[in-house]
Amino acid sequence: MPQIRVLLADDHVPFRKGVASVLSAEGGFDVVGEADDGLQALELARDLTPDVILMDLSMPVMDGLEATRRIRQELPRVRIVILSVSYGAHGILEAVLCGASGFLPKMIQPQELYGTLRQVVQGQRAAGDTTRKG
C-alpha cells in the first residue's frame, strides 16, 4: 500500500509537531505539509494535493469548517478529518455538512488515529469516540 499523504492544519505548533511525529513513527504516512490556519491549509492543499487533511476546528484567519468547505469544493478527492478539543453532535453534523469525512477528539489514541486516516482514504466515513472529553 502506498504511503498516505497527510497535511496537518492546526494553529498549536506543539500539537501539530506531536501528531507529525506520531504519524512518522507508525510508517505508512507521509506528512507533506503543515498549516497554521485554514487559509494556509487551503493554499497548501492546492499545491500539495494530500490524500487527507487533519484539520483543527478552531483556527485563526479561516476556521476549519470554512477551510473544509472550500477545499472540498476545489479538491473533492482530498479527504478531511476534523480534530477538536470541544465537540458534540452539532459540531460533528456541521463538519459533515461542510464535507468532512471524519471527526475526532484531540485526545485520540494513536491507533485510532491511524485507523481513521486509513478508513477515510479508502472512502469510508469515520468518527472517533465522542464520549471522551478533552
What are the pLDDT digits (tens) for 56-74?
988 889 998 999 999 999 9
What does the pLDDT read at residue 38? 95
Q: How large is the angle between the packed helices 38-48 and 64-74, nearest 10 degrees?
A: 20
Q: How large is the angle between the packed helices 89-97 and 64-74, nearest 10 degrees?
A: 30
Give the mean model confidence (pLDDT) for residues 71-90: 83
What does the pLDDT read at residue 134? 36
Q: Is 32 exposed, middle or buried (0-12, 13-18, 19+ CB in 10 A)?
A: middle
What does the pLDDT read at residue 85? 76
State yes or no: pLDDT of 20 exceeds 90.
yes
- Homologous superfamily of 4-127: Response regulator (3.40.50.2300)
Between residues 2 and 91, the one the model is more confident about: 2
What does the pLDDT read at residue 68? 94
C-alpha cell at 31: 506528512
Query: How far is Cα 106 from Cα 53, in angstroms, rounded to an integer?
Result: 14
